[in-house]
Amino acid sequence: MHAPPKARPARHDRAVGAAGLTERQRGEALARFYDLDVLDVSYDAELYQRLAHGSGGPILELAVGSGRLAIPLAMAGHRVVGVDHDAAMLERAWAHWDLVRGPVERERLSLHEGDFTAFRAGERFTMVFIAVNTFLLAEDDQARVALLGAMREQLQPGGFAVIEVSTPDDEDLADYDGRLQLEWLRHEPESGDLVAKLVSARHDTEHSSVSLCQVFEWTPAHGGPLARVTRTDTLHLVSATRLADLALQSGYDSVDLWGDHLSIPYGSGSHRAILVARLV
């Protein structure tokens, strides 16, 4: 099976834990294991560093999570505002930021809990971005336009929005048949717990969506029963050309479509689309 697309969780995700786990503990576990899942992910960081350097102003990241991209941007000298609906993720972002920032002023990174389309920072940005596949949580064109419009409203003249989505081909989608497979088995550095990630993806042809179920099971380092947390997302697929059309409909003046993080134009064989939508 080709690796299914990843996404940050939406508000309506189901988080199911072992007996005795509170909702807070479940949220904290999902945040911990998200960090473990992306521990070795760095393929997109250089792209956002390059774009941020070219933007020349403040940056807004939607679905900032635990700060995987925002913190390095802030450490590189940019002023970054991050928004997320997940309090547990934001707690980890603050902890990561305080751990690594050294003498860098804390205010260079500002984190807020809120809805992506409703949040307003009281300022405008030169770059607004939403990484990985979070945009695919938008259920239809109406929701996509609302998110694109909210990003545009927070841009300065000359600013740009960046959105990344997976664009799996028919071969990829045929593999999303619901099979549950082990993706990795890792020791979590901070706790020593042994964690297994299992994943199942099922493609719904009629609705052009992928139901993505991720299961994290862990054995405590110092003994105890096996515990489990499950997260389910529905990713609503959108083609690269449709995404570009929606951006133009949302009031952007020009769009570029790249097929990878090296800024190669999107084309046949591209498995992801990176949209850069600009204002004059």
Indicate whether 174 pLDDT > 90: yes
Let me know: does 235 contact 144? Beta carbons within 8 Å.
Answer: no
Strand order in the sheet with 227-236: 14-17, 227-236, 209-219, 194-204, 181-187
pLDDT digits (tens, 9 = 90+) for 207-234: 999 999 999 999 998 888 899 999 999 9
The structural architecture, per CATH, of the domain 45-167+238-278 is: 3-Layer(aba) Sandwich (3.40)
pLDDT digits (tens, 9 = 90+) for 107-120: 999 999 999 999 99
Written as six digits, the tokens of 248 are: 């133009």
Cα distance between residue 10 and residue 133, in whole Å: 11
Q: What tokens appear for 153 in the block? A: 């409203």
pLDDT in tens, 88-105: 999 999 999 999 999 999
Side-chain-facing half-sphere of 113: CA atoms under 13 Å: 11
Q: Which of 254, 251, 245 is nearest to 278 (CA)?
A: 254
pLDDT for 22: 87
Residue entry with tokens 């969506």: 209
C-alpha 117: how far from chain center: 15
Distance, in Å, from the CA atom of 257 to the CA atom of 66, rounded to the nearest integer, reads 27
In this predicted structure, the answer to whether residue 59 has a pLDDT above a threshold of 50 is yes
How many of the other CB atoms lie within 10 Å of CB of 127?
A: 26
The answer on pLDDT for 1 being more than 80 is no
Which H, E and C letters describe the chain, residue by residue? CCCCCCCCCCCCCEEEECCCCCHHHHHHHHHHHHHHHCCCCCCCHHHHHHHHHHHCCCEEEECCCCCCCHHHHHHCCCCEEEEECCHHHHHHHHHHHHHHCCCCCHHHEEEEECCCCCCCCCCCEEEEEECCCHHHHCCCHHHHHHHHHHHHHCEEEEEEEEEEEECCCHHHHHHCECCCEEEEEEECCCCCCEEEEEEEEEEECCCCEEEEEEEEEEECCCCCCCEEEEEEEEEECCCHHHHHHHHHHCCCCEEEEECCCCCCECCCCCCEEEEEEECC
State both tokens at 64. Answer: 């900032």
Structural domain boundaries of the chain? Answer: 14-36+169-236, 45-167+238-278
The rounded mean pLDDT for the chain is 92
For residue 72, what pLDDT band results from cuts at 50, 70 and 90? very high
Segment 248-267, tens digit of pLDDT:
999 999 999 999 999 999 99
Distance CA 118, CA 126 (A): 19
Q: Which of 18-27, 73-82, 154-163, 234-243 has the least mean pLDDT?
A: 18-27
Residue 158, pLDDT above cutoff 70:
yes
Residue closest to 215 by CA, chosen among 52, 5, 21, 15 = 15
Tens digits of per-residue pLDDT, 138-148? 999 999 999 99
Q: What's residue 112's pLDDT?
A: 97
- % of the chain residues with pLDDT over 90: 86
Q: pLDDT band at 16, cuts 50/70/90?
A: very low
* Other C-beta atoms lying within 10 Å of the C-beta of residue 46: 12
